Amino acid sequence: MMGTLLSPKQIIAARVAKEMKDGDVVNLGIGLPTMVPNYLPKGVNVILQSENGYVGLKPLEGEIDPDLVNAGGQPAGIISGGAFFDSLFSFELIRGGHVDVTVLGGLEVDAAGNLANWMVPGKMVPGMGGAMDLVTGAKKVIVAMEHTAKNGSAKILEKCRLPLTGSEVVDLIVTELAVFRVTEDGLVLEELQEGVDLETVKAKTEASFIVSPTILGGKMNA
């Protein structure tokens, strides 16, 4: 039986979910990253931390509690044993290295693992929020984003052009086309999403990258 066709955002969320380990403390950025828990593998349960003062958030079930929202202001639920606390304690958790994984969207990521994800040219944005703390405090930083901007321009660049959220902080980039790991040698293309060919990824990626031997059977520059 043919499987359900996934949207680009669903493809990204499902792939990111494979990076989670049972018991991980995970912080999810607004938008696409909040879809990740829908695709967690069987037997993998994570503890969701939110910088607005919660640990143990879960998808909304039942009535909306106006005082219980995630960092994006969306109604949420909380697991039995979850906890509420002030922003000071929340950021002590983040800055203290107690978050195992953070998943964030991105406007630009570059070959050095720099991330720009908060300032949209021509639009008023209040600031980067907790992202600056998350990318420096979390043990693993995953950027989950569509491969190109709405106008078709590349988002994976040789060097970010927008103001940075963090410098050399990204560990993994997951798009609807591919999965890149950031290494000391630069970007490594580790996976192609189902049905995607290497030439398509090359055409839509500004940054140079190394192709993993698992894809071509040998290392080469792209």
3-state secondary structure 96-129: CCCCCEEEECCCEEECCCCEECCCCCCCCCCCCC
The average pLDDT across 144-166 equals: 97
Quote the percentage of the chain above a pLDDT of 70.
95
Average pLDDT score, the chain = 92
The predicted pLDDT at position 219 comes to 40
Question: What are the residues facing 145 on neighbouring strands?
Answer: none
Note whether residue 1 is domain-resident.
no
Note whether residue 49 is domain-resident.
yes
Query: 14: domain range?
Result: 8-221
Note whether residue 65 is domain-resident.
yes
Note whether residue 74 is domain-resident.
yes
Active site residue 206: no
pLDDT at 150 over 70: yes
Distance in angstroms (rounded) separating the CA atoms of residues 208 and 82: 44
Residue-wise pLDDT for 161-209, tens only, equals 999 999 999 999 999 999 999 999 999 999 999 999 999 999 999 999 9
Distance in angstroms (rounded) separating the CA atoms of residues 215 and 137: 32
Note whether residue 107 is domain-resident.
yes
Strands 54-58 and 108-110: unpaired
pLDDT at 81 over 50: yes
DSSP state of 136: H
What is residue 67's three-state secondary structure? coil
Lowest mean pLDDT: which of 36-45, 121-130, 211-220?
211-220
The predicted pLDDT at position 217 comes to 52
Lowest mean pLDDT: which of 45-54, 66-75, 192-201?
66-75
The average pLDDT across 4-30 equals: 95
Residue-wise pLDDT for 115-145, tens only, equals 999 987 777 777 788 899 999 999 999 999 9
**What's the structural domain count of the chain?**
1
Note whether residue 2 is domain-resident.
no
The predicted pLDDT at position 216 comes to 66
Task: Give the CATH number of the domain where residue 146 resides.
Answer: 3.40.1080.10
Note whether residue 133 is domain-resident.
yes
Note whether residue 3 is domain-resident.
no
Give the DSSP H/E element, type plus range, for residue 25. strand 25-28
The average pLDDT across 146-170 equals: 97
The predicted pLDDT at position 2 comes to 43
List all residues 6 or more positions away from 174 whose beta carbon is below 8 Å from its beta carbon: 12, 15, 16, 142, 143, 144, 145
Strands 140-144 and 156-157: unpaired
From the candidates 19, 51, 176, 190, which is the catalytic residue?
A: 51
